[in-house]
Amino acid sequence: MLNRAPLRVLIAAPRGFCAGVDRAIQIVELALERFGAPVYVRHEIVHNRFVVERLRDLGAVFVDELDEVPDDRPVVFSAHGVPKSVPAAAQSRALTYVDATCPLVSKVHRQAQRLIEEGRHILFIGHAGHPEVIGTFGQVPHGAMTLIETIDHVADLSVPDEANLAFLTQTTLSVDDTAAIVDALKARFPSIRAPRSEDICYATSNRQAAVKAIAPECDRMLVIGAPNSSNSLRLAEVAERIGVPARLIERASDIDWDWLGEPRTIGLTAGASAPEVLVREVLDALSERFDVTEEIADHTPERMTFKLPRELVA
């Protein structure tokens, strides 16, 4: 096509699938091979409808709650983790279940349990209603953990015993917001126990850093991800904070061309649950309207991999 305006697209790296998402998807695929269809999955395995639809085509059935799973079919728990009551209920019904909780979420679960055993009250930084938060709260007795959503919560917190506090966080938070909340917590409760290592995971921090690296050169930022995907939402937020207008889109047809305007350079990234095929789709859609030059940002490759559950590989 003639007269297309030039457009430089800076493609963030790393972007897209993390090791926990790869593993969770593989678990559903292997469960389908091992048990045949249908395999039930409690909650979206990851927050992406293209991933969910592909697995549905292979024979997965997605449900909200365990009581929707028939007694004679296996069930997979999503990457976000589940309250302890869920595997307990599965056991009491003698259901076959496979847990696809990301090992980095399970690590936070174990930390929570350990802190409670030590008699500490936990301040948990996270987003109300998110399945990971529900899952982590479900590892400890009711009332043993208090949710902190914003820095403003810190000032008016009332805690049982200031000398016996600890904090933990959701894995997909804003690195910057969380650092500010942690500083406020440490200022107010100097003896608060911090996690041994950061709970925000490597994939979350790397994807946010990748957006920060390209944003200063961008007029607009497109983030591929679902509206209920916490880590993807954070990527759009990071760009906006730097002053780059950003939009979260599920796929190419969501691009608002009026909003995009006639930029010289745009940034493109994808959340940890968004498949790379959608990045290609967006680049193709951009190429139909602009004379696109693609540039992939330099980065250190991610080498993280997680073992699959023994019951699926034996």
Q: Which residues are catalytic?
A: 132
Closest CA to 25 of 69, 55, 68: 55
Apex 177 CA angle, 126 and 217, nearest 5: 125
24 or 122, CB closer to ligand 2E4? 24
Told to check if 154 binds ligand SF4 by CB under 6 A, we report: no
Q: What is the footprint of ligand 2E4 within residues 14-33 (CB under 6 A)?
A: 20-21
Assign 189 to helix, strand or coil.
coil
Binding partner of residue 19 among ligand 2E4, ligand SF4, none, CB cut-off 5 to 8 Å per kind: ligand SF4
Other Cβ atoms within 10 Å of 69 Cβ, number: 23
Which one-letter DSSP state was computed for residue 254? G
Of the candidate spans 13-21, 149-157, 220-228, 292-300, the one that interacts with ligand SF4 by CB under 6 A turns out to be 13-21
CB of 306 to ligand SF4, least distance (A): 8
Count of residues binding ligand 2E4 (CB under 6 A)? 18
Told to check if 138 binds ligand SF4 by CB under 6 A, we report: no
CB of 120 to ligand 2E4, least distance (A): 24
Which one-letter DSSP state was computed for residue 70? -
Which residues are CB-neighbours of 113 under 8 A, at least 6 positions away?
139, 140
Q: What is the footprint of ligand 2E4 within residues 272-291 (CB under 6 A)?
A: 272-273
Q: What is the CA radius of gyration of the chain?
A: 21
User: Could you give the CA distance from residue 190 to residue 169 in angstroms, rounded to a whole number?
Assistant: 18
231 or 269, CB closer to ligand SF4? 231
Q: What is the footprint of ligand SF4 within residues 203-262 (CB under 6 A)?
A: 203-204, 231
One-letter amino acid for residue 184 of the chain? A
Told to check if 18 binds ligand SF4 by CB under 6 A, we report: yes
b/e 276-312 (16+ beta carbons within 10 angstroms → b): eebbebbeebbeeebebeeeebeeeeeeeebeebeeb
* Token pair of 261 as six digits: 């305007």
* Token pair of 11 as six digits: 């493609």
Residue 190, CA atoms < 13 Å, CB-side half-sphere: 0
CB of 4 to ligand 2E4, least distance (A): 33
Told to check if 47 binds ligand 2E4 by CB under 6 A, we report: yes
Residue 118, CA atoms < 13 Å, CB-side half-sphere: 14
Which residues are CB-neighbours of 114 under 8 A, at least 6 positions away?
none
Q: What is the footprint of ligand SF4 within residues 160-189 (CB under 6 A)?
A: 171-172
Question: Nearest residue to ligand 2E4, using CB?
Answer: 229
Which H or E element spans position 61? Answer: strand 60-63
CB of 127 to ligand 2E4, least distance (A): 9
Binding mask 226-265 vs ligand 2E4 (x if CB under 6 A, - otherwise)?
---xxxx---------------------------------
CB of 186 to ligand 2E4, least distance (A): 25
Binding mask 183-222 vs ligand 2E4 (x if CB under 6 A, - otherwise)?
----------------------------------------
First to last CA, the chain: 55
Give me the residues that bind ligand 2E4 (CB under 6 A), please.
Answer: 20-21, 46-47, 79-80, 102, 105, 132, 171-172, 229-232, 271-273
Contact residues toward ligand SF4 (CB under 6 A) are: 18-21, 79, 102, 104-105, 171-172, 201, 203-204, 231, 272
